[in-house]
Structure formats: C-alpha cells, structure tokens
Amino acid sequence: MPSSKILVTGGAGYLGSILVPTLLENGFHVTVIDNFIYRQSSLLDICANKRFEVIRGDCRDPSLMKNTIKGKDIIIPLAAIVGAPACDNDRVAAQTTNVDAVRIVANLASRSQMIIIPTTNSGYGIGAKNKLCTEESALRPISFYGKSKVQAEKILMDRGNAISLRLATVFGSSPRMRVDLLVNSFVYRAVYDRAVIIFEGHFKRNYIHVRDVAKAFLHSINQFNKMKGRVYNVGLENANLSKIELCQTIKKIIPSFVFLEAPVGEDLDKRDYIVSNARILATGYKPHWTIEDGVRELIKCFTIMRNSQAGNN
C-alpha cells in the first residue's frame, strides 16, 4: 500500500514527528494538519520530500477537514490534548480536540477510507489485582483524558473500517520532545537532579517506545484488512512495571540515581493496571525497543537538550 495517501492530524507532535518520517520512508504520500501550538519545528527535515504536504490549520474546522480528507486513503487522527494534567488544565480544548474532532473525521470520511487512531491504556483505570487487562476488559477511565479517548474510540469503532491502538505509556526521544511522560521524566531527573521522590510507587502500568508505536501504525496499515474493526493494546509484554521497578531499571544504567518513596501524600494520577498485548503480537507485530534501550537513548537526548524548553507548556 506504499502509494497510498495518508492524512495525519497533529502530525508535528511527539508521536507524529516520528510517525510521519516513518511513513514517508515507506513510500506513502503524507499530508499533515497541525496548528503548531507549541511553536515546534519538528518536521523541518522532511520538507524536501515531494510526497510530504503540510497545512497549518485546526482539525476542529469542519470545512478544512472536508477539503483535506478528500482523496485520502488512510486517516490517522493523532491530534489530541494528551495526559491527565493537560486535559484538566483546559477541558474545553480536550473535549473539542480529543472527541469532537474525531467525530468530524468519522462523519466526513467515506466508508472506504481507513482510519487508525491512537487511544490509551488509561481507559482501564484501576485494573483487578494481578489480572491482565485485555481488550475485552471493562473500561473504567479515571481521568478526563482517559474518558475522552474512550469516547473517541467508541465513535470510530461504531463507524467501522477502523483500528484503535490502545497505547501503553510512551517513552523515548522525539524531535517534538515531551519530558512530562513518566519514563522520560524519571530519566531527566536521574540525569540532572540525580534523585526523584515517588508517590504511591506500587502503582503499575505498561510502556512502549515511541518508535515502536510508529511501527505499530505501519504494521496496522499493512495488515489493515486482517486487523480492522478491533482494538489492540500496544505495549511491551515484559514491561508491566511499578514506579519503583521502573526506577530500579533506570538505576542499573545510572548508578548515581537515588529514588525515595514518600511515606505520605498521593499521586493525582491513580492509574494502576497490568496489560496483555497478546492480540497485536498474534498479528505478527513485534516491538524492538526495551526500557533499557530507551533509558540509554534518553541520556543522550537530555545531554543535548539541557536548559531547553521541552514540556507541554
């Protein structure tokens, strides 16, 4: 399907800045819609590619989307306000971007156009003790972010001819870097502060490298007819880790790193679950990056980024 035309909303973001070049490298024609709200320049190195088109605009604009969706074979709605804190900071933006913009895509796209959306493991909320969450597990999102992505997933699954990739907590470097993601944040602190205080360190979640997420999208495109109409957890089978276990992994690579669990206080992010990724693995998808690989990469990333602005704000 390399000659296919793909529309990616939010393509200049953390994930898009890795995914869009990957799609171009594999022969696709890619159009990106992004409002460049963070003033990022993450796609500059692909502007020379004749199969790349970029539109500065808002995916919540129905007229823009109607004109841009025409003629595309695949739509990937990446644009989103990501993470519980960012969504709580502006719930209107979160609702209109995470849910309403997806509804616009669902309404405007023809039945023959394929849609692949990233959603989130956050929808599982608090999982049953020692029981893996599968795609059939109940969705009990705690945060407004989790709830918005669950709504978006339902819109597209009801529409049909779509795939939802429920992403684990993503880590790794990107031209549009985010330091607020858990692994990235802990490694940043290990490199510069040498220490971190953990709240509720027993809380577990799953993890996946940003390049393996891009790989999952490419795999889903290539296997679309076999995978369509279903949701897939995307994470590392051996990385259902608690915060303490994550810190222990980082410490093996950065021995000077010190982490302490606070005896009082709580984490506002109450997610706590372990996840099975068996369904997507059964389709032939295989992630490449381990947590350890990511830590080593992030050390180099933060060596370059010192004193730079890298968060969501």
Say if domain 5-171+209-235+276-287 classifies as CATH 3.40.50.720: yes
- So where are the chain's domains? 5-171+209-235+276-287
pLDDT at 128: 85
Q: Could you list the pLDDT tens digit for every one of the 313 residues in the chain?
A: 777 999 999 999 999 999 999 999 999 999 999 999 989 999 999 999 999 999 999 999 999 999 999 999 999 999 999 999 999 999 999 999 999 999 999 999 999 999 999 999 999 999 888 899 999 999 999 999 999 999 999 999 999 999 999 999 999 999 999 999 999 999 999 999 999 999 989 999 999 999 999 999 999 999 999 999 999 999 999 999 999 999 999 999 999 999 999 887 777 677 899 999 999 999 999 999 999 999 999 999 999 998 654 443 2
pTM of the model: 0.95
* Tokens linked to 92: 């209107």
